[in-house]
Amino acid sequence: MMNSAHPTPQLPPTDHQPKAYEGPSYEDVAAMRQRYLTPALFTYYKKPVMIVEGHMQYLYDETGRRYLDGFGGIVTISVGHSHPYIMEKARQQMELLQHTTTIYYHPAIAEYGKLLAEKMPGDLSVCYFVNSGSEANDLAMLMARLYTGNYDLISLRNAYHGGSASTMGLTAHSTWKFNYPHSFGVHHALAPDPYRGAWGRDDTESGAQYAADVQNLIQHVTPGKVAGFFAEAIQGVGGSVVYPNGYLKHAYAHVREAGGVCICDEVQTGFGRTGEAFWGFESQGVLPDIVTMAKGIGNGAPLAAVVTTPEIAKTLAERIHFNTFGGNPISCTIGKAVLEVLEKENLQRNCLEVGGYMLDGFRKLMEKHDIVGDVRGKGLMTGIELVKDRVTKEPATEECARVWERAKDLGLLVGKGGFYANVLRVKPPMCLTKPDVDFLIEVLDIVFGEL
Ligand SMILES: Cc1ncc(COP(=O)(O)O)c(C=O)c1O
């Protein structure tokens, strides 16, 4: 039901003027997609939005209408859409050299490897560059198996680690798994979800309790030895699930006891997004053996990486390992520029401050609207879980779709996720401001009120 008592929320002012759009019409683009692209493509919204321009935390459609991007191109825009510094560096590199592969020396990959390794704690100092998160996780699976000589891998239910033939096995949502053999040797432990799982946030031992399931799985469904354990630092696609304190510490101990290595998927959480630390795993007080990263690493460029220890890295030298676009001069130049901007613009701190302000706003929405069952996240990696009933926690899937659709009508784009598609995922570019948050909260307040 529309609530006409509210004035339309206004986006904060911006100096950016979008260019007049001169490309094919909305209808022509829709027809070409329908005719020439895979039917497996899914779009957001009943009438999909056509986005033709971006500037920092804002997006523009073909009519020049501005939206606040609360989802960052699926958590991929870290420093801001078409950030001028990144664009300039990429342009300069494009003019000099676009591609060679790693068979020749090039300064960008070497300098970028050094810069990225310097961002890592412990002995994590060897970088492999690839093009996507799925590729990074594929490579990490290979490394874990080769290094340990074991085959079995543990991943978590409700995880998303990619859609390639092998990473589909790590992913644990039926919605993303095709009916085809993909999970050889992969076993899924309980999701350490303090909202929906057996142990809640008031249970101080819940981290150890959920981790005990990892040990149980190792003991009962593997030969007692494993190659490794995959976990996101915070489950992203699964609906911004933040693990209880101590979970990864206990889980890692069980895995290492069984000869396995620990892999942290930082595809969504890395590069300061969680505000508390540069890497999501740091908030859990652990040091992984392998870290995979993608999305925010390139602010929209096809760049991903696996970083590991020199000892684990040696295993890939036993055969030829090659990736045509991995370490491409343009991607590496962009990756380097992203690290520079993160530092210059203090974006991790911005995530902490603006993210904290946003989470406070979400908590106020929860006090006011019964539909909000849970509010969670760290920094600008957040989620709002909608339920029909706070006691039964029955997922409010259809209501979530309505909120998400109406928010778009009011100029706010956010993500939707969780196994029941009842979690609003708010993971905007890291340059989000407090006035943007005021707009975002105002929109959600109106839309929740309309349900
Ligand atoms: C945590 C996580 N890992 C891996 C991936 C796969 O990345 P890509 O789509 O670049 O293959 C994703 C993508 O959403 C992700 O969220």
pLDDT tens digits along 278-307 = 999 999 999 999 999 999 999 999 999 999
Q: At what angle do helices 347-368 and 434-450 cross, to 10 degrees?
A: 20
In which element (H, E) is residue 438 found? helix 434-450
Cβ(294) – ligand 1 distance below 6 Å = yes
CA distance 267 to 271: 9
Given the CA of residue 133, which atom of ligand 1 is nearest to it?
7
**Tally of CB atoms within 10 A around 241:** 29
Q: How many CB atoms lie within 10 A of CB 144?
A: 26
* Interior/surface letters 33-69, b for 16+ CB within 10 angstroms, e for the rest: eeeeeeeeeeeeeeeebbebbbbbbbbbbbeeebbbb
User: Which residue puts its alpha carbon closest to atom 13 of ligand 1?
Assistant: 162
Collapsed DSSP state (helix, strand, coil) of residue 130:
strand
| 411-439 average pLDDT score | 98
Which of 138, 161, 266 best tests ligand 1's pocket when mutated (most atoms within 8 Å of CB)?
Answer: 161
Mutate to test the pocket of ligand 1, among 74, 129, 134, 292 (most ligand atoms within 8 A of CB): 134
- pLDDT band at residue 427 using 50, 70 and 90 as cut-offs: very high
Q: Is the CB of 237 under 6 A from ligand 1?
A: yes
Q: Is 236 in the pocket of ligand 1 (CB under 6 A)?
A: yes
When pLDDT is cut at 50, 70 and 90, the band that residue 16 belongs to is: very high
Three-state DSSP state, 329: helix
CA–CA distances in Å: residue 93 to residues 116, 333, 339: 19, 7, 17
Q: Which residues pair with 27 in a beta bridge?
A: none
CA of 61 to the centre of ligand 1 (A): 26
Q: Is 192 in the pocket of ligand 1 (CB under 6 A)?
A: no
* Ligand 1 atom with minimal separation from the 137 CA: 4
Distance from residue 348's CA to the centre of ligand 1 (Å): 21
pTM comes to: 0.97
Query: Does residue 158 have its Cβ closer than 6 Å to ligand 1?
Result: no
**Ligand 1 pocket mutation pick from 129, 130, 155, 160 by most atoms within 8 angstroms of CB:** 160
Where do we find the tokens 């919204």?
45
- Provide the percentage of residues in the chain whose pLDDT is more than 70: 99
215 lines ligand 1 (CB under 6 A): no
Q: Is the CB of 265 under 6 A from ligand 1?
A: yes
Q: Is 72 in the pocket of ligand 1 (CB under 6 A)?
A: no
The CA 265 to ligand 1 mean position distance, Å, reads 9
Average pLDDT over residues 227-244: 98
Range 402-408 average pLDDT: 98
pLDDT at residue 1 in the model = 43
Least confident of 2-16, 162-176, 297-311: 2-16
Q: Which of 71, 22, 83 is nearest to 44 (CA)?
A: 71
314-330 mean pLDDT: 93
CA of 357 to the centre of ligand 1 (A): 27
For all residues of the chain together, what is the average pLDDT?
Answer: 97
Region for residue 418 given its phi and psi (left: phi exceeds 0; alpha: psi -120 to 50; beta: otherwise): left
The amino acid sitting at 326 is G
